[in-house]
Structure formats: C-alpha cells, structure tokens
Structure 1
C-alpha cells in the first residue's frame, strides 16, 4: 500500500524545496536558510493559511481539507495541472468504497469490442493500457513495435517494468533517460489515483527494490502524465522508428487507455511500419490479461 500520509509529505516537501525564494520575492541566500527552497511558514503565508495548519497538511495529519485550501497551496507552490490532480488524490480522504482494492493487473479485462477496434487498425500500432501501466491488449503491430509482447510472461507486460527491468530496454529506446522520466511521472499519477490498488503497489515496490534509476526519479516526486508526444524506438526487425503517440481514455472502461503510434505519410518510418506489418502478419491477437 502507498500510504497517503507518506505520499503527501514527500510530495509537498519536494515541491517547496524545488522553488527559488527569489522568484517569489522572498529573501534568499543559503546562509540564512537551513534547507533549499521555501520554508513551511513561507508556503503557509503565500497560501493564506496558518503555519500550524500547513504543517499538519504536510505531515498527513489534516483531515477533510477543502478544495479552496488545496487550490491555495497549489498556487503557492506553483503546481502544474498534473501535480494539482495528484495533490488532490493523495490529500482528500475518500469514502471507504473508493479505497477498495481494485484487484491485480491480471484481473483487468478488455472488452471484445475494444479488441475488435485494435485489430481493425491494421496500419496503426496500438495497445490498451490499464492500471499500474499494465499492457492489457494489442494489435499485431502493437505487439512488435518494441518488445515482443506475446513472448513475455503476462506479469511482465507492464510499461514501467519493461523500461526499468527489461535487459534490452536501453537498446530499444535511444532516448531512455527521457522515456524513464515520463514513465515515472505517469506511474506517480497512477499511484495518486489508486494508492491502495495491489497492482500499482506491486509495480512500485518491485522497481523501488530493484532499480536505482527508478528510486532516484521516484524520490524526485515529479508528476506529469505524458499522454502524447514523440518517441524513437529501435525495432529489432526494421530499425529505428520515429513515432508520435496519443493516449485516449476509454470513457466506459475504468482506468483503461487506447495508445496509438503513427508516422507522417511518406516518411521513412511509415515505410518501415509497412515492412513490419508484412513481417509480423496482420492476424489479430485477442488478449485478456
């Protein structure tokens, strides 16, 4: 379990430490400060709340924090949209029903209609992502865009585990450092939405126990869901692919997203995707993890 008290404390400490007092019109100078960034009393002043109340919030001892107070703290710490969402998720005490364990990743299912949609996208590599960044389903191109998903143990079909634990990850991803940061930002956001989900906790624990790179990035407390962007992948069959990706939430399927990859018409990557399609075949693969 990812305890909310620990999460909010680490997050708020990291965010106030990341701010330069001079940027906010506050006295700076390490000689007058025991720690970098803002002091608790400065955050409280900027947020318009008492130092005692802010301290209790940061220590995870405050209950029923209002949206107005959370918004004030977010403004004081200059949080991004994703960071504000994360703060709300870990700060607000949810109803007991909202904290029920959602089951492990292998209990997540993909509707047949979604698999049908995947298979119909013959020229577009596509996957479905679930809680904890598990890869739940794919089409033929999506199965071989980087890792050979069909050859993996179901428990290892997870974007975070593949990036940090698969021995070929750095060879497949030339921009591994950036990809790793994006994965951690996404997983941090997932942990805020589902702090007690067994699969989310299982993935985070394995990575904390076994990856120094993950520990370093996780401790930085960065929260940024990367739902679109560009990616380079060195495909083992056809060479380097320069792709753009988009992630679409499935509105009727809780915690699932459709992820698609594409390349500009006439580009080298488009030609290589056609070659890849020919080499892997276009038979659809129905998967329920």
Structure 2
C-alpha cells in the first residue's frame, strides 16, 4: 500500500490529506484520471467546498494507473483507497518517496540565491560538446552555464543578471519563450512541475520560495498551474521550436547528473542526423561560427 500511495503522490502532486481521503469511486479507470474532492482532516474525511480551487481533475500516467488498479480491484465503490493511515505516519511516506526519486534528507538551506561557480573542467566539457546545445542547471533550475549552441538556440543567458538567470523565470517572464517554443504551454507546465518537486526537497529554502512567490505574483499561468500540485522530474524529452534564424525544429534532450553533485544537471539537446531539425541545428552551428555574434531571439538584458 505504501508503495502505491507514494507512486500516486509523486506523479500527481496530491497532498497527504488528499491521498488518505481518496475514495474508490473518484478514480475513472476508463479515462485514466482521478477527481480530488475529499480531504482527510483531523476531524475526519470532508469534501472540499464546491467553490474551492482544490477540487480538481488529475490525469494518471498509464503505469501509475496500472499499479493503482491492482490495489483497488477488490475495494467497494465507496471505500477509501488507502486505509489505516494517519497523519502521524506521514514521515514514512516522505522517506519512501525520497527513496523513489533518489533524494536523501539534507539539512535545510535557508540562504538567498548566489552565483555558483562551476569547476573549470565542466566548462571545458560543455564547450567540447560544440555541435550540440548544452545547458547546465542547478537548484530551482538556475542556469549555471550554457555553451555557444545553447545560447544560439535559446537565448544568451550570460546577458541576464545573475539574480534572474533562472530557466523557469525566463520561461514565464522572458520576452523570447512564448514565440520561440511552439509547445510553450507544455514546456512551461514542465517547468512549474519541476519547481514544485524542488520545493518539496527543502520547504525552507529562501531562494526557492522567493522565486515561487515572484512567479505566482507576475504570471497568472504559473499561479494557476502551481495550484494543480503536479510534480515532474525532467530526465528526457523533446522541445518544438520556431527559431528566428533557422525556422521550425524539434530537439530531443537527455539529462546527466554529475556524480557527487546531485544539484547540478547537464541538459544535452540533439536532433536526428539528416532530418530537417538536424539540418537546422547544423545551420545554426555554422551561423555561430561565421556570424558577427550570438543570435538573439529577443531583447538582451544588461549585466548587474
């Protein structure tokens, strides 16, 4: 039961009270989704008010639904899905969830965001991957480094003030992303869900909480999607772009987490050789070598 509950919580972002208050009839197996209506409180399971934003419909990934179906197949329609659970045992749930995603308990880091310095060898590595765009992201998706191809494909992050040099912030508040990404909504949602996962690792981190507060205040989309309580760990995927210089292309990305430094992740972007997207990347690489500077898809910001 614990494994099923943790898996469901990880992929849906449901709170403890919502998980322990979930009823069998709130799961729509045919449509692969569940409905959050009740919450488990100190005084028992109660329905959210009908006007509450907490009432929502949550899609279920196929592999999560498969595990959940094995758990509920003998339950009565009105039964509570996860029984004999109390909030006092939530620490066990959190410990198991951390194990699933490879997160270990760490001391709270109540500090403000500051510039992180990468070791020289890492800069040499991403520069050596000259034919592919490479981004290096740190905690809360802070952009720590980008090679020339990444700057050409996305934006020149070096021109953004250090305190604002963050991928999620750029996605929602930058000038370029909405016109650059054909699938902007998908990419923006993923950024929200990744940040929620990050926030769950250290709820007291000042820099993370400050970033979330700023984005909720300045972006209605971010605020709306944050309320959905979904989490997502980006390990691979694709992005569809309409680049000002080379037109439409799709890039695939894979992530590499550095041994001994789990807070630093390399995002390496590629396209299928010989495809129109591969040709677009080749053209962009030629432009960065022969052009007068790094191409920009929006207005540059000044350094601090």
TM-score w.r.t. length of structure 2: 0.68
Match of 1:47 among 78, 82, 87: 82
What SS does the corresponding residue of 2:249 show, helix, strand or coil? strand
TM-score w.r.t. length of structure 1: 0.71
Counterpart of 1:266? 274
Are 1:14 and 1:221, in contact at CA under 8 Å, matched by a contact in 2? no
Match of 1:21 among 25, 30, 37: 25
1:264–1:21 CA distance, 2 compared to 1 (3 A) = same
Q: CA deviation at 1:221?
A: 0.3
Which residues of structure 1 form unaligned runs of 5+? 1-8, 26-34, 75-80
Name the CA distance, whole Å, in 1 between partners of 2:28 and 2:178: 39
Name the CA distance, whole Å, in 1 between partners of 2:23 and 2:154: 38
Which structure shows the higher strand fraction? 2
1:70–1:116 CA distance, 2 compared to 1 (3 A) = closer
1:23–1:124 CA distance, 2 compared to 1 (3 A) = same
1:17–1:215 CA distance, 2 compared to 1 (3 A) = farther
What SS does the corresponding residue of 2:135 show, helix, strand or coil? strand
Q: CA deviation at 1:154?
A: 2.2
Structure-to-structure mapping, 1:146-157, within 5 angstroms: 146-157=154-165
Counterpart of 1:204? 212
Name the CA distance, whole Å, in 2 between partners of 1:18 and 1:179: 29
1:201–1:36 CA distance, 2 compared to 1 (3 A) = closer
1:281–1:155 CA distance, 2 compared to 1 (3 A) = farther
Counterpart of 1:144? 152
What SS does the corresponding residue of 1:209 show, helix, strand or coil? helix
Aligned length: 240
Are 2:133 and 2:149, in contact at CA under 8 Å, matched by a contact in 1? yes
Which runs of 4 or more aligned residues in structure 1 lie more than 3 Å from their structure 2 counterparts after TM superposition?
12-20, 22-25, 35-39, 41-48, 81-86
Tell me whether 136-145 or 150-159 shows the greater mean CA deviation.
150-159
Are 1:233 and 1:240, in contact at CA under 8 Å, matched by a contact in 2? yes
TM-align CA RMSD = 3.6
Counterpart of 2:37? 37
Counterpart of 1:98? 107
Structure-to-structure mapping, 1:40-189, within 5 angstroms: 40=40, 46-49=81-84, 54=86, 57=87, 62=88, 65-67=90-92, 98-101=107-110, 103-104=112-113, 106-189=114-197
Counterpart of 2:3? none
1:13–1:220 CA distance, 2 compared to 1 (3 A) = farther
Are 2:115 and 2:162, in contact at CA under 8 Å, matched by a contact in 1? no
Name the CA distance, whole Å, in 2 between partners of 1:144 and 1:192: 33
How big is each residue's C-alpha offset from its partner over 1:146-175, in whole Å with a ceiling of 9 and x where there is no partner?
223232222222111111111232101111
What SS does the corresponding residue of 1:248 show, helix, strand or coil? strand
